[in-house]
Amino acid sequence: MIRAYNWFFGRSEIDRMLTLSMLFSVLLVAARIAYTGQSTFLFMIWNLFLAWLPYALTTWLQQRPDIVNKGWKLAAVFLIWLPVVPNSFYILTDLFHLGRSNVPRWFDLAMIVSFAWNGLVLGILSVRQMEKYIEPYLRGRHELFFVYPVMWLNALGVYIGRYYRFNSWDIVVNPFDLMAGILEAIAHPVAYKDVWGMVGCFSVFMTLVYLTIKRIARAV
């Protein structure tokens, strides 16, 4: 108990708030399971864990200046981080699961939005941390030079995860099928207009959210 107390209060204020917010989401799922006797939304806890991983990685980098200050090492970590960070924004699409059920609809709305909020915050913080590490290598380029390509790839990753049902690890375990699906959409953009429509819409939306929160943080 004492160790858990020290672990919690020894963290940064942001980490403490994130921990409480994620715990709240998990408790809502537990309450729903207790009320319904069904584990319908248990998968959202796993999705939240996957959303936390990119933030954990970029936070870990704060303790590793030997990696951040070495361009090739940072590039290697960046290539690991890039396929994982879409998991944070993917939870936004779990709002699709909101529907009629045997629990009050407001409860499901609060539960799913809480997960979506946590994923969004984790993703934005992780992208911001990575942007700070990359800034010295951008040589004064505008922030969008880094932010928008990352958000575009995030949006593509969200679409692939939601509709193609691929996961981040499929880059390693199933790369050929993954690339075949992406190349098919690239080769026939008109036939796959829904893909590029969602990617364009979500990439702009996430970029705007990111830039807005970044400027709010500077203003307060």
Of the candidates 83, 120, 77, 110, which has an alpha carbon nearest to the alpha carbon of residue 213? 120
Q: Would you state the pLDDT for residue 3? A: 57
Tell me the C-alpha to C-alpha distance, in Å, between residue 190 and each of 108, 152, 178, 181, 195.
36, 19, 20, 15, 10
- Tell me the HSE value of 131 on the side-chain side, using a 13 A CA sphere: 21
pLDDT digits (tens, 9 = 90+) for 63-102: 998 898 888 899 999 999 999 999 999 999 999 988 877 8
The pLDDT tens digits of the residues spanning 97-149 come to 888 778 899 999 999 999 999 999 999 999 999 999 999 888 878 899 999 99
* Local confidence band at 172 (pLDDT 50, 70, 90 cut-offs): confident
What's the rounded Cα separation, in Å, for the pair 36 and 39? 8
Our CA dihedral for 62, 20, 99, 155, rounded to 10 degrees, sits at -10
User: What confidence score (pLDDT) does residue 7 get?
Assistant: 47
Measuring CA to CA, how many Å separate 155 from each of 10, 158, 178? 35, 5, 15
Q: Which amino acid is at 53?
A: L
The tokens for 80 are 């690991």
Tokens of 133: 């590490």
Q: Please tell me which of 5-9, 115-119, 170-174 the model is most confident about, judged by mean pLDDT.
A: 115-119
Helix locations, 101-143, DSSP H:
105-138
User: What's the count of helices (H) and strands (E) in the chain, helices before strands?
Assistant: 11, 0
Residues, the chain: 220
Domain locations in the chain as residue ranges: 12-219
